[in-house]
Structure 1
Amino acid sequence: MLLALSLLALAPLLVPPCIARSQETYSESLRLTPLADGKVHSNLSFSMAGPWNDEQQVGKSATAQHHTHLPSALTSLLTHHRISSFHLTLSSGRWSPHWPTTSSPASGIELVAWLEPDEEEDELAEAKRWHEFTGGLGGLFCTGVTQGGNEASRPDWGYSYEGEGAEGETLRPYRLVLPRLSATCTESLTPFLSLLPCSSRAGLGALLNPHRLFDGEWTLLGVHFEQKGGMGEVRLEVGSVQDPVRRDRLAGGLGRRDFSLESLFDRQLTVACPVAETSTVKLVVPRNSVNAFEIQPSDGRVVEKEGELEIVKWETKQGSPTEPLNARISWPTENPFRYPHVSRLPTPPISTRRILLGRGQERGHIGIELINNGAEAAEVLWVEEWPWWVRGFVGSLTAEGASSSEDSQPSVLALDYTPPIPRRRPTTLQALLHLPPRSTSKFLLPYESSYLWYTEYPSDAHRGFEVPGALVILLNPASPSAEEIDVDPSHLLASRGAKLRLHTPSTLLSLPTPDFSMPYNVIILTSTVVALFFGSVCNKLVRAWWVVDLEAREEAEKKEDKKE
C-alpha cells in the first residue's frame, strides 16, 4: 500500500514535461449521404491538432518535438523539408457529375504543397527539397508520388494558402498531378491507418474494411496539413461511393437501396476510441423522397439543421456499452429501387467536360466545355497543367458559346500562360472566364505534341498517354458594396472564395508512336542473312571435296571381314 502511494506521488515527476502539458486534440466523424441514384457517399474524417514548432529541451544541446496525437512519421517529414501546408489526395474510380458536392477530387494523384522560403537557397536547391519531399511522402504512403517524367507546376490562381498571416504570400506553391487508374489500394490504406491514434482497433477507424472500401464505385484517401495560429492540424479523410442496389442483387435480392454500417463496411462500431474528444456518425436525411423511409436506431440520436439539409447524428462515445452502433436507413414500401429520370437528378450550378479534337497524332485542339445552369452570369477560374510534350498556342485561344441572351457572349477576362521546357517544366494555363447565364461555352486552343525518345515510351504506349484533367473553380459573386478595382487574378480565390471546384476526368492523347517491333524484325533478318553467309563461307573454307570409289571400298571391307 505504501509502495503504491509513493508511486502515485512520484507520477508527476516521472512523466516528461512535454507529455504532461500536451494540448493536442483528436476528433473523428463519419458522414453518410444517400444519393438520388441509389448510391451512398461515405466520408470519414480524422482531425488531429496540436502546438507546432514547440521544441522541448531533451539535452544540453539538443531539442526535439513531442506529439501525443499528431503522427510523428508525418510531422518529422514536414519539419525536415520545411513544409508549411500540403494536400495529398489518392483517388480511384470516376466521380459522377450528378453527385452533389462542393469539391470533386482530381483523378489519380494530386499533391499541392507550400514550401517555406530560404534566402540562402536557390531554385535548384528548392527543387531538390521538393523532390525529396515527394519521395518521402510516396514512401510513407506506399504510392507512386514521384515525378516519373511529370514535373511539378507553380499555379497560383487556383490554389490559395489557407494558413493564417500574411506570410503565405512569400511561400512557394508546388502542384503535381499524376493521372493514374489505380492511385490508391490496400498498400496505401495500411500506412494510412498507422497514423491514427486508435488505428483500426477502435473508433471509426475500425470501419475501414479494405474488401468493402475498394469495391465501391469510387474511393479516396486524403491527407491534409495546415498551420494556423501556432497550431498544426493534420486531417485524414477516406471517401467512398458504394452501390447498395448492386450488392443486394448480387446477394439474390430484387435491388433495394437500404443500407447500414454493417452492409457498407461489413463491420459495426463496438468500441469507441478512448482518446477521441468527439466521435460522431451523421446521416443526411434524404430530400424529395417519394417513398417513406425509416432511420434506426432511435436511441441517442440528435436531429440537427445544416442549411437546407437535415442531419441525424449519433455520438459513438455515448452509445450503449453492450450493443454496437449500427446506423441504418430503409425504405419498407420500396421494392425494388427504380433509377430516376435524368431530369430529376440534382443539377450543379455549372458542369464541365473535356474537349479533344485531333487531326492525326501531332496536332489538334484541346479545351473545355462549360455549361452555366444558373440564371446569372458567373466568373470561373480555369487551370490546366499539361505535360511538357503538349505545347499549346495560347494566341489562338477561341471562346464561343450559345446563350439565351443575344448581347452576352463568353469571354476571357485574364490569362496567364507558362510555356513548357522539355523534360524540365510542364505547360501551365490559367484563365479567368466570364460565362453568360443559361449558356454553353467552349474554350479551345490548338496544340502540338512533341516527339519522345524511345526510352520515354511506356510499355503500353499504344494505349495512349494520359493528360491530367482541367480544374474549374466557380467563384462566389462579388460583393455589391465592393469597389470595382482591378484585382490580381491570383488573389481572387482568396478574396471571393470558391463556390464549386470541379475536375474533369483525365484524357487519353495519342502521340506519334514508332513501330517497336521493327528493330526486332531487323535483328532477325540481319541474323538470318549473316548466318547464311557465314555458313556458306565456312563450308567453302573448311570442307574438302574428293571422289570416293564405293566398289573398291566395299571389297576392302570384305577382305577385312575374312581375315577376322
Structure 2
Amino acid sequence: MISLYNVEELYLSLTRGKWKDRLWGYPPIDSPPGAELWAWFLPQASDVDEDWRGLLHALSGLLCSSFDAIDSTTTFIPKTSFKPTGAFIGNISSSRLRYTALPREPVCTENLTPWSKLLPCGQKVGLGSLYYALKLYDTNYHSISLKIVPSCQDDSCSSVGTAVTLSLSVVFKLPSGKTWSLSSLFGRHIEKKCPLSSSSFIYFDKYLHKDINLYPEPHFIENKQFLSSNVELSVYELNNLKSDIKVSLKNKNYSQVMPHPPSPLSIQRYLTGSGHGRGGIVTIISNNDDESLKVSFLDMVPWFFRILYHTLTCELTINNNNNNKINCEETNNTILFKEFSPAKDRVLPYKMEYIFFIPPHSSISLYVEFLRGFLKWNEYPPDASLGFFINSAVLTSNVYKCANCTVSTMENRSSFLLRIHSDPLLVSLPIPDFSMPYNVICFVSTVIAIGFGSLFNLTTRELLPVNEEEEEKKGVLVRIINKLKQLFLRKD
C-alpha cells in the first residue's frame, strides 16, 4: 500500500474520548477525538491527489473506518504545523502533504481488531495479549495509532528502511483500592514476548509519582535525560517476567500521590452566539511557561460555515492581566506568519494558519464570526439533529522543559516537539423537516383517492327513471326479489 500510493510518511489515529491536559498532563501521542490522518508523498508522485484518494480507500478497508468518505471538502494542505519526522527524501514542500480529520468517526472493536492484526504476533503473545476490548472500551480515553516513517539503517543514513510504530494510549478509571495490577486493569495476564521481537520491555515512569511501589522489583533502572530533567524509569524485561506486575500506593490520597504541574502550553476553544444565524469562534492560546514560545496554529472550518474574515480580531494579554490587552497587529513580533484560505462551496474548506511568538505567562485570543449556510436536503447526515462538527484546532511548538510530558524511552533531546489539539466544536445548522415528504405523499394520496372516487361514480353510473305506477302493480314478492337482485349486483 505504501509503495503503491507513493507514501513517504503516514500517521493515523482513531480516538474515543478527549485527553484532559490539565488533569493527566500531556499525552504520549496527542490525537483529537475521532479519526485523524496525514501523509507525506514521495517527490516522484505524479498526482498527489489521486494517490491520496487511493490511500484513503485502502486505509478504509484495512481498518474498517470511514476514510473513503473524505473528499476535497475535508482535505487540507497545512504549511507550518506538520513537518516530516523520519529520514525525509527531497525538499520539504507542503504540496506533498495532505491532512484530514473526522471528529464524528466512532471508534469500536471493529477498528481495534484489524489494527491488532498488524502486530507481528497479533493478540496471542507479547503486549498484544493485553488488548482486551471489554476493558479497553470501558476506559476514560483510548486511542490507537499507526505511524510509518522512513528510517536510517546506519549512522551515515546511507541505507534507508521503513519503521512502523503501532501505539495504544489508554487512561483507566481510578481503581477503588490502593493496589492494582496489569491484569486487573487490562483483564488479561501478560504472556511471554513475541518470538519475532528482539526485545520486549515494560517501562514505569515514576518521575512525578515517587509514592508508588512496584512488585516484583524492576529488573533494572534506566536513567534518561529528558529536556532539562533527569528521569528514572523502572524497566521489566518481558522474557524474564515470572509474575504479574502489581502497583501499590503509600498514600490513599490520589491528589498527593499524583500531582499535576501546570502545562506550559494550553488551548481553549468555544462558540459564541445563539440561534441558527450568526455565531462566533473564540480561541485562547496560553503560554504558562517562564520562557517565550514560538507556536504554530492551524484552524480548519467546513465550507458551509461562512467565515467573515473582516471580523477577525487578535488580542495579546500580557502577564495574564485582562487590563493589559493589546492588538496583535500593533506589536512587531507577535505574528510571525499568517495565511487565510477562503472556502469554495462543496469544493474547498476554510483554512487559517498563524505562527505566534507568545511572551511568558501571556495568552493570545482569536475571535472570528461566521454565518450558518444552507445545505441541500441530501447533504445532511442521518443524525442531522446532532449538529455538525468543526475540526479540532492544531497547536504545535518546541518546548524546552515539560514536567508533565510522557517520557519517550528512545529519545534524548534538548527540545520536545509538542503538538496538542483543541476540543472539536459542535454547531447546529438549520435543518429541513425530513418528515415533510411523507406528510405530503399521504395528504396528496388522500385527496386523489377522494376526488377519483367521486369522479368515477359520476362517469360510470347509469341513472334510470323509476315508474311508480308499474311498481305498484307488481306483487310484494316480485319487489323483494328485484331489491335483492339490485343488492347483489352492487356487490359484484
188 and 558 in structure 1: CA distance in 2 versus 1, 3 angstrom threshold: closer
**Preserved CA contact (<8 Å) 1:138 1:145:** yes
- Secondary structure of residue in 1 paired with 2:166: strand
1:209 aligned partner = 132
Displacement of 1:457: 0.6
The answer to whether residue 184 in structure 2 is matched with residue 263 in structure 1 is yes
**Equivalent AA in structure 2 for residue 136 of structure 1:** A
Whole-angstrom CA distance in 2 between matches of 1:378 and 1:548: 109
Aligned to 1:530: 448
Q: What residue is the counterpart of 2:487 in the other structure? A: none
2:98 is matched with 174
Contact (CA 8 Å) 1:468, 1:507: kept in 2 or not? yes
Amino acid at match of 1:271: K
Question: 1:315-349: per-residue Cα shift (whole Å, max 9, x none)?
Answer: 11233xxx3x4112112653xx566799x643211
Q: Does 1:501 align with 2:419?
A: yes
Q: Judging changes above 3 Å, is the alpha-carbon distance between structure 1 residues 388 and 208 closer, same or farther for their aligned structure 2 residues?
A: same
Distance 1:100 1:235 in 2: 22
Alignment RMSD (CA, Å): 2.9
Alignment pair present for 1:105 and 2:105 = no
Q: Deviations over 1:263-300 (max 9, x none)?
A: 111122232212211100111226366xx542101263
- Deviation (angstroms), 1:83: 0.5
For residue 173 of structure 1, what is the amino acid of its counterpart? Answer: L
Relative to 1, partners in 2 of residues 1:138 and 1:427: Cα closer, same or farther, differing over 3 Å? same
Number of aligned residues: 443
Aligned residue number for residue 347 of structure 1: 262
2:331 — aligned with what?
none
Question: What's 1:132 paired with?
Answer: 54
Distance 1:212 1:128 in 2: 39
Aligned residues: percent identity? 27
Residues 308 and 368 in structure 2, CA contact (< 8 A), matched pair in contact too: yes
CA distance in 2, matches of 1:464, 1:156: 29
Q: 1:219 to 1:548 in 2, by over 3 A?
A: farther
**In the TM superposition, what is the alpha-carbon distance from 1:174 to its structure 2 partner?**
0.3
Aligned-pair distance for 1:422?
A: 2.0
3-state SS in 2 of match to 1:396? strand
d(CA) in 2 for partners of 1:199 and 1:507? Answer: 36
Tell me if the contact between 1:378 and 1:474 (Cα under 8 Å) persists in the aligned partners.
Answer: yes
Please report the TM-score for the alignment, with normalisation by the length of structure 2. 0.82
Task: Provide the secondary structure at the position in 1 that maps to 2:79.
Answer: coil
Task: Tell me by how many angstroms 1:210 deviates.
Answer: 1.3
Q: Secondary structure at the match of 1:397?
A: strand
Q: CA deviation at 1:166?
A: 5.7
Q: Equivalent residue for 1:35?
A: none
1:518 is matched with which residue: 436, 440, 449?
A: 436
Cα pair 1:410 1:436 within 8 Å, conserved = no
Which whole-Å CA distance do the structure 2 matches of 1:108 and 1:202 have between them? 29
Residues 538 and 333 (structure 1 numbering): CA distance in 2 closer, same or farther, change over 3 Å?
same
- Aligned twin of 1:91: 15
Q: What CA distance in whole angstroms lies between the structure 2 residues aligned with 1:416 and 1:165?
A: 25
Letter in 2 for 1:95: W
Residues 39 and 98, structure 2, Cα contact 8 Å, conserved in 1: yes
Decide whether the 8 Å contact of 1:473 with 1:498 is kept in 2. no
User: Alpha carbons of 1:463 and 1:269: their partners in 2 closer, same or farther (altered >3 Å)?
Assistant: closer
Q: Equivalents in 1 of 2:270, 2:50: separation in Å?
A: 35
Query: What do the CA deviations read for 1:483-520 (whole angstroms, capped 9, x no partner)?
Result: xxxxxxxxxxxxx9764221112111112222222232
Distance 1:558 1:256, change over 3 A: closer
Task: State the match for 1:425 in structure 2.
Answer: 348
Letter in 2 for 1:313: V
SS of residue paired to 1:326: coil
1:388 match = 303
Asked whether the equivalents of residues 383 and 428 of structure 1 are also in contact (C-alpha less than 8 Å), the reply is yes
Q: Which residue of 1 aligns with 2:488?
A: none
Shift in alpha-carbon separation, 1:497–1:396, aligned structure 2, 3 A: farther
Distance 1:409 1:500, change over 3 A: farther
Matched, 1:236 2:155: no
1:312 corresponding residue in structure 2: 234
Structure 2's unaligned 5+ residue stretches are 153-159, 329-334, 401-413, 483-492
Q: Distance in 1 between matches of 2:325 and 2:359?
A: 6
Distance in 2 (CA, whole Å) between partners of 1:527 and 1:142 is: 43
Question: Could you list the per-position Cα deviations for residues 169-205 of structure 1 after superposition, in whole angstroms to 9, with x for gaps in the alignment?
Answer: 24600001111252x3211222222222211121111
Task: Summarize the Cα distance change of 1:553–1:514 in structure 2 as closer, same or farther, 3 Å threshold.
Answer: farther
Residue correspondence of structure 1 range 6-405 to structure 2 within 5 A: 77-98=1-22, 99-101=24-26, 103-118=29-44, 121=46, 125-148=47-70, 150-165=73-88, 167-170=90-93, 172-180=96-104, 182=106, 184-229=107-152, 230-245=160-175, 255-285=176-206, 287=208, 292-298=211-217, 300-302=219-221, 304-305=223-224, 307-319=229-241, 323=242, 325-331=243-249, 334=252, 337=253, 345-404=260-319
Map of 2:408 onto structure 1:
none
Q: Secondary structure at the match of 1:393?
A: strand
AA in 2 matched with 1:384: D
Checking the alignment, whether the CA contact within 8 Å between 1:391 and 1:419 is kept in structure 2 is no
Q: Which secondary structure does the structure 2 equivalent of 1:156 belong to?
A: coil
CA distance in structure 2 between the partners assigned to 1:393 and 1:525 by the alignment: 43
Alpha-carbon distance in structure 2 between the residues aligned to 1:222 and 1:152:
19
Q: Report if the CA contact (8 A) 1:135-1:145 is conserved.
A: yes
**Would the aligned equivalents of 1:381 and 1:475 in 2 still touch at CA under 8 Å?**
no
Aligned pairs (5 A) from 1:456-467: 456-467=379-390
8 Å Cα contact 1:296-1:329 kept in structure 2: yes
Q: 1:281, 1:222 → 2: CA distance?
A: 19
